[in-house]
């Protein structure tokens, strides 16, 4: 269930109530006349099944300009009427995509922030150390820390809705993250090389992580599967599944490998890691966009009378 807080101009509250009464899956409706101050109006509280959220938000989209719409997840609901509302709504809650929620999330993930760059640098440096230490464990840690999937999901959403600005912004964010991570890791690896801590031999004795520089058909298949799973985990709110996606694809590890190979001037390894990175990103973008398209077109409860 979702808990909705609506603020409506008093003159249009009856119109809002008519929509709520008409939408399946809406219950626990409360009207607080004149309770709104900024903006001024009536406060309407209600619970709605996830499957009904798109219809409610879509039909009340005008409140974004004249009032307010806020939604939050309900962690615990002990109510027979709430259970009945979920049963009345079409489909299953885990299958429902709340498009407005997704739009806000990908918009936030498409921006370059200090936290984003910091995570990217740490993840890339961990993967670089994993290459030098021949450590798959460090590679897994780097995969989990990498923040790149948010920008990839934003690109998928932009392609689905033909939002050119979002696509360009997300691509810039993705490229900036990889460039900053690679440059910092390259500088550290070069310093280690000049100090005599590492040499070309480190790239000859890392059989456990050589898969990073050897892209093949399986790399693309894994990327396609990870892209689909990643989008499904975001739209369904399954964060545990998203961690599995991070561990499946070698994007950040490929960037770390490229940075180390650049510092050691091993151009063959640089080419292999860059190819792996490109294959993974391309596969995830293709699969993620197709998955969103399937969710919108073929699942009746997804996008029903949606405003997106």
Q: 179 and 74 in one domain?
A: no
Residue whose structure tokens are 């964010």: 173
pLDDT at 300 over 70: no
Looking at the structure, tell me whether residues 7 and 79 fall in a common domain.
yes
Residue 109 contacts residue 150 (beta carbons within 8 Å): yes
The chain-wide mean pLDDT, for the chain, equals: 89
The domain boundary residue, chosen from 78, 96, 114: 96
Rounded CA gap, 32 and 256, in Å? 56
For the entire predicted model, the pTM comes to 0.85
The answer to whether residues 279 and 172 belong to one domain is: yes
Share of residues in the chain with pLDDT > 90 (%): 63
Tell me the pLDDT tens digit for each residue of 252-292.
999 999 999 999 999 999 999 999 999 999 999 999 999 99
The residues, ordered by sequence, that sit 6+ positions from 120 with a Cβ below 8 Å of its Cβ are 146, 147, 148, 177, 178, 180, 181, 252
Element (H, E) at 138: helix 136-145
Position 305 in a domain: no
Six token digits for residue 217: 């058909």
Q: What is the pLDDT of residue 228?
A: 92
DSSP string, 27-95: EEEEEEEEEEETTEEEEEEEEE-HHHHHHHHHHTTTHHHHSEEEEEE-S----HHHHHHHHHSSS-GGG
Q: Which domain holds residue 241?
A: 101-298
Structural domains of the chain, count:
2
In this predicted structure, the answer to whether residue 305 has a pLDDT above a threshold of 60 is no
- 117-144: b (≥16 Cβ within 10 Å) or e: bebbbbbbbbbbbbbbebbeebbbbbbe
pLDDT of residue 183: 97
CA 87, CA 287: separation in Å to the nearest integer?
31
> What are 37's strand-pairing partners?
40
Q: How many CB atoms lie within 10 A of CB 93?
A: 18
- For the segment 162-192, what is each residue's pLDDT rounded down to a tens digit? 999 999 999 999 999 999 999 999 999 999 9
CA–chain centroid gap for 269, Å, is: 30
Radius of gyration, alpha carbons of the chain: 24
Answer yes or no: is pLDDT of 94 > 80: no
Helix (H) or strand (E) holding 199: none
Res 237: pLDDT = 66
Please tell me which residue, 74 or 42, carries the higher pLDDT value.
Answer: 42
Same-domain status, 81 and 133: no
Q: DSSP secondary-structure letter at 140?
A: H
SS3 198: coil
Query: What would the pLDDT profile of 102-145 be if each residue is shown by its tens digit?
Result: 999 899 989 999 999 999 999 999 999 999 988 888 988 998 88
If asked whether residues 7 and 22 sit together in one domain, one would say: yes
Collapsing DSSP to helix, strand or coil, 237 comes out as coil
Kindly report the CATH number assigned to the domain that includes residue 50: 3.30.70.120
Which residues pair with residue 4 across a beta bridge?
Answer: 46, 71
220 and 293 housed in the same domain: yes
289 and 230 part of one domain: yes
- Per-residue pLDDT averaged across 27-44, rounded? 95
Same domain as 117, residue 90: no
* Arithmetic mean of pLDDT, 9-13: 95
6-24 b/e with 16+ CB inside 10 Å = b?
bbbbeebbeebbebbeebe
Please check whether residues 66 and 189 belong to one and the same domain: no
Banded model confidence at residue 2, pLDDT cuts 50, 70, 90: very high
Mean pLDDT for the stretch of residues 16-24: 93
Tens digit of pLDDT for each residue in 217-259? 888 999 999 999 989 888 876 666 667 777 777 899 999 999 9
Last residue of a domain, one of 46, 62, 96: 96
Same domain? 273 vs 146: yes
The sign of the CA dihedral 297, 303, 306, 308 is negative
Rounded distance between C-alpha atoms, residue 28 and residue 26, angstroms: 7
In a domain, 306, yes or no: no
Domain assignment present for residue 304? The answer is no
Higher pLDDT, 71 or 97: 71
The verdict on residue 229 lying in a domain is yes
Give the domain-ending residue among 39, 64, 96.
Answer: 96
Identify whether the C-beta of residue 220 lies closer than 8 Å to the C-beta of residue 277. no
Asked whether the predicted pLDDT for residue 63 surpasses 60, the reply is yes
Domain shared by 21 and 79, yes or no: yes
Check whether residue 52 and residue 106 sit in a common domain: no
């Amino acid at each position: 269930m979702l808990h909705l807080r609506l603020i409506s101009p008093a003159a249009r509250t009856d119109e809002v109530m008519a929509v709520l009464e008409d939408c399946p899956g809406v219950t626990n409706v409360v009207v607080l006349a004149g309770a709104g101050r900024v903006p001024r109006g009536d406060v309407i509280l209600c619970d709605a099944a996830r499957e009904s959220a798109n219809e409610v938000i879509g039909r009340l989209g005008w409140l974004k300009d004249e009032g307010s719409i806020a939604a939050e997840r309900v962690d615990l609901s002990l109510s027979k009427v709430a259970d009945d509302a979920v049963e009345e709504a079409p489909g299953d809650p885990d299958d429902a995509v709340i498009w407005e929620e997704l739009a806000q999330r990908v918009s936030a993930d498409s921006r370059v922030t200090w936290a984003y760059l910091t995570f990217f640098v740490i993840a890339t440096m961990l993967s670089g150390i994993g290459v030098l230490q021949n450590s798959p464990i460090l590679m897994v840690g780097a995969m989990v820390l990498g923040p790149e999937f948010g920008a990839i999901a934003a690109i998928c959403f932009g392609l689905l809705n033909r939002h050119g600005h979002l696509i360009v912004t997300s691509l810039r964010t993705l490229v900036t993250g990889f460039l900053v991570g690679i440059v910092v890791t390259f500088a550290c690896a070069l310093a280690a090389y000049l100090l005599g801590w590492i040499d070309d031999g480190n790239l000859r004795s890392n059989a456990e992580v050589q898969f990073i520089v050897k892209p093949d058909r399986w790399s693309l298949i894994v990327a396609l599967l990870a892209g689909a799973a990643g989008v499904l985990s975001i739209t369904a709110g399954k964060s545990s599944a998203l961690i599995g996606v991070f561990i499946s694809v070698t994007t950040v590890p490929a960037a770390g490998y490229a940075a180390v190979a650049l510092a050691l001037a091993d151009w063959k390894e640089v080419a292999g890691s860059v190819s792996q990175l490109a294959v993974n990103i391309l596969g995830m973008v293709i699969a993620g966009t197709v998955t969103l398209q399937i969710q919108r077109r073929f699942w009746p409860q997804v996008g029903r009378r949606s405003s997106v």
